[in-house]
């Protein structure tokens, strides 16, 4: 009977966590429970191509690039994930959400402009060159 109680307690805790009873508050909101039916669907526009990480070129004695190294950090920050307005343009009141995202030195994929250290979810992507190894330090 004791084993069954432990299994039931674990199942109940999992249900409560997944169902949102233990949900963390959205930044700027007073309650920790967010009803998914209140979130407008299909109103956020997809952004363009993700930025790309900027590598450090590792060279041999002759100056030839033999590898590219990347440093990727996981950082806590706030990001606007929930929509700011509904499909009619009315404000939703949703503020930024606390996230854990990947970050590092990055550049704009299209223009090549250096962006500095950026973080978010999804994080930047990697641009690899055929036959040139890369090493990522997480």
Domain chopping of the chain, boundaries: 1-38, 39-137
**Where residue 83 falls among pLDDT bands split at 50, 70, 90?**
very high
CA–CA gap between residue 57 and residue 135 (Å, rounded): 10
Q: Which residues contact 54 (CB under 8 A, 6 or more apart)?
A: 104, 105, 106, 107, 114
Kindly report, residue by residue over 56-79, the tens digit of the pLDDT: 999 999 999 999 999 999 999 899
Kindly report, residue by residue over 25-51, the tens digit of the pLDDT: 555 555 567 888 889 988 888 778 889
Tell me which residue of 105, 83, 80, 81 sits closest to 92, measured CA to CA: 83
CA–CA gap between residue 102 and residue 73 (Å, rounded): 6
**pTM (predicted TM-score):** 0.65
Q: Percent of the chain having pLDDT more than 70?
A: 77
Identify the bridge partners of residue 106 per DSSP, sorted by sequence position: 53, 116
Kindly report, residue by residue over 2-18, the tens digit of the pLDDT: 444 444 444 444 444 44
What is the SS3 assignment for 125? strand
Residue 67: predicted pLDDT: 98
Buried b (16+ CB within 10 A) or exposed e, 85-95: eeeeeeeeebe
Residue 31: predicted pLDDT: 56
Residue 120: predicted pLDDT: 86
Residue 73: predicted pLDDT: 94
Q: What is the bridge-based pairing of β-strands 134-137 and 65-71?
A: parallel
CA–CA gap between residue 49 and residue 113 (Å, rounded): 13
């Amino acid at each position: 009977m004791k084993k069954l109680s432990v299994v039931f307690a674990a199942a109940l805790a999992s249900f409560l966590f997944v169902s949102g009873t233990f949900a963390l508050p959205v930044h700027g909101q007073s309650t920790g429970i967010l009803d998914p039916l209140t979130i407008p669907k299909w109103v956020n526009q997809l952004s363009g191509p993700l930025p790309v990480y900027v590598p450090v070129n590792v060279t041999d004695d002759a100056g030839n690039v033999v590898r590219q190294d990347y440093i990727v950090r996981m950082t806590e920050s706030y990001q606007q994930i929930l929509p700011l307005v509904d499909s009619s343009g009315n404000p939703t009141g949703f503020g930024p959400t606390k996230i854990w995202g990947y970050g590092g030195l990055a550049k704009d994929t299209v223009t090549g402009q250096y962006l500095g250290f950026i973080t978010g979810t999804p994080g930047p992507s990697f641009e690899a060159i055929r036959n040139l190894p890369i090493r990522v330090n997480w």
